[in-house]
Amino acid sequence: MIIPNYQMIEKIAESSQAAIYKAYHKKDPHKPLVLKVLKAGFLSDNQKSQFRQRIEHLRILNDPLLITPIAFEVKDGVGFITQDYFDGVTLNDLAKAHPRISIKDFLTVACGVARALAKVHASGIIHGGIKPNNILVNPGTLDVRLIDFISALDVREVSHFIYDPSFVKQTLSYTSPEQTGRINHTVVFSSDLYSLGIVFYEMLCGRLPFSSDDPLELIHSHLAQEASDVHDVNADVPPGLSKVVSKLMLKQPEKRYQSGKGLLADLVRCRDEYATAGTIGVFPLESSVYARRVTFVSKMVGRGREAKIILDEYEQVVRGEFRSLFISGSPGIGKTRLIQELQKPIVKRRGYFTSGKFDVYQKNIPYSSLIQAFKNLVRTFLTESDERVALWK
């Protein structure tokens, strides 16, 4: 790889989207940098603008625990992102060198990551790509750095390589339920914390809570399958610490930790108690920190009878019968929220949920909502087949 004005020293890593190099600018040969060279052959002006806007937005993250992009450049048709170099290894590489991490070292690393993530969330930014490859650790000091703020992928937009083994193992394994696009929840701060819970689980248990080569099986696990408690898999993990990880990995976003600050407070308590007593008892979680942001809980009220009718009819469909329900009411009365009650049982039975909506400004188009629903369903099928994905590309 040759890029004008830069001297490449070595390739550090490679993914399906980019190659990572250690390098330096020829004007400053004593300052090592990291160059993330994008593999995309052509970038539109809009894509370039989005990269630069994102980098400008990330300038508020001025903290030594966070390695944010310095600039985005295109030279000789090659697009690349420049950032500072940190003398550390990814959490993946650290785990390979030390398969059984001690509870003491785990808590040191975990507190460092939680502290870094608290800085991110305090600035109003969602990382969106928390995984071992985006956490750097100095093997000697266990200092931590959080990286890769500009490469977070939305699973709904990656149908062209969703079956790529590296993507399934390195990204999809750490994806939160709401990031899959299969449930009607906004991606918020707690999405990062779910992904971090998967990372912690893997560190403590030596394996992922959900593992599959099939991306659809993996997505289903994130949505509907409960992981075994950490202390049931590894008896050396104290129950108090196990509860922290379990709270991080709850399916409902509003029930998880809501910020890195609350998580950090509990991890610091775990660290101090373990250093003093050699164990960690169960204690009330996230009780010492009060969030400055209001958390809105997605809970339906006053529609229990109607929801039961819908779910009962769905059970008849599962048995092979045909059912059709019509729900009417004034705008804003909660028709959509009532229908969303179907999402959870459909996911558990690995069914498909599709929807369409009549637009008040497009009343002249017959069957517009049915057409939209069928289009959404076809798009799902196209994403979920190797052969069809090739055609979709």
pLDDT of 42: 66
Query: By the 8 A CB rule, do 132 and 92 touch?
Result: yes
DSSP state of 55: H
Q: Is 382 helix (H, G, I), strand (E, B) or coil?
A: helix
What per-residue confidence (pLDDT) applies to 380?
60
Query: pLDDT tens-digit profile of 204-223?
Result: 999 999 988 888 888 888 98
Output b/e per residue, 215-231; b: 16+ Cβ within 10 A: beebbbbbbbeebebbb
Mean pLDDT, all residues of the chain: 84
Q: Say yes or no to pLDDT of 320 above 90.
A: no
- What's residue 326's pLDDT? 84
Select from 388, 367, 363, 387 the least CA-distant residue to 378: 388
> What confidence score (pLDDT) does residue 152 get?
39
End-to-end CA distance of the chain: 28
Which region among 115-124, 291-300, 363-372 has the lowest average model confidence (pLDDT)?
291-300
293-300, long-range: CB < 8 A, 24+ apart = 293/258, 293/259, 295/254, 295/258, 296/254, 297/254, 298/184, 298/185, 298/254, 300/334, 300/337, 300/338, 300/341
Tokens matching residue 85: 């170099």
Average pLDDT over residues 334-339: 79
CB atoms within 10 A of CB 392: 14
Give the type of residue at 319: R
**Predicted confidence band of residue 41 (pLDDT cuts 50, 70, 90):** low
pLDDT band of residue 163 (cuts 50, 70, 90) is low
- Model pLDDT for residues 269-297, shown as the tens digit of each residue: 999 999 999 999 999 998 866 555 555 55
Query: Tens digit of pLDDT for each residue in 64-95?
Result: 999 999 999 988 888 899 999 999 999 999 99
Confidence at residue 379, expressed as pLDDT on a 0 to 100 scale:
65
pTM of the predicted structure, to 2 decimals: 0.79
Q: Which of 75-79, 178-182, 242-246, 367-371 has the highest mean pLDDT?
A: 242-246
Whole-angstrom CA distances from 1 to 6, 7, 38, 155 are: 10, 10, 12, 29
Secondary structure, 3-state, the chain: CCCCCEEEEEEEEECCCEEEEEEEECCCCCCCEEEEEECCCCCCHHHHHHHHHHHHHHHHCCCCCECCEEEEEEECCEEEEEEECCCCEEHHHHHHHCCCCCHHHHHHHHHHHHHHHHHHHHCCCCCCCCCHHHEEECCCCCCEEECCCCCCCCHHHCHHHCCCHHHHHHCHHHCCHHHHCCCCCCCCHHHHHHHHHHHHHHHHHCCCCCCCCCHHHHHHHHHHCCCCCHHHHCCCCCHHHHHHHHHHCCCCHHHCCCCHHHHHHHHHHHHHHHHHHCCCCCCCCCCCCCCCCCCCCCCCCCCHHHHHHHHHHHHHHHCCCCCCCCCCCCCCCCHHHHHHHHHHHHHHCCCCCCCCCCCCCCCCCCCHHHHHHHHHHHHHHHHCCHHHHHHHC
Q: What is the pLDDT of residues 132-158, one digit of tens each?
A: 999 999 999 999 999 988 753 444 444
Q: Is the pLDDT confidence value at 357 over 80?
A: no
In angstroms, the CA 242 to CA 237 distance is 7
Mean pLDDT is lowest, of 8-17, 186-195, 240-249, 366-375, for 366-375
The predicted structure's pLDDT at residue 184: 65
d(CA 41, CA 249): 37
pLDDT for 391: 35
Q: Give the per-residue pLDDT at 293.
A: 55
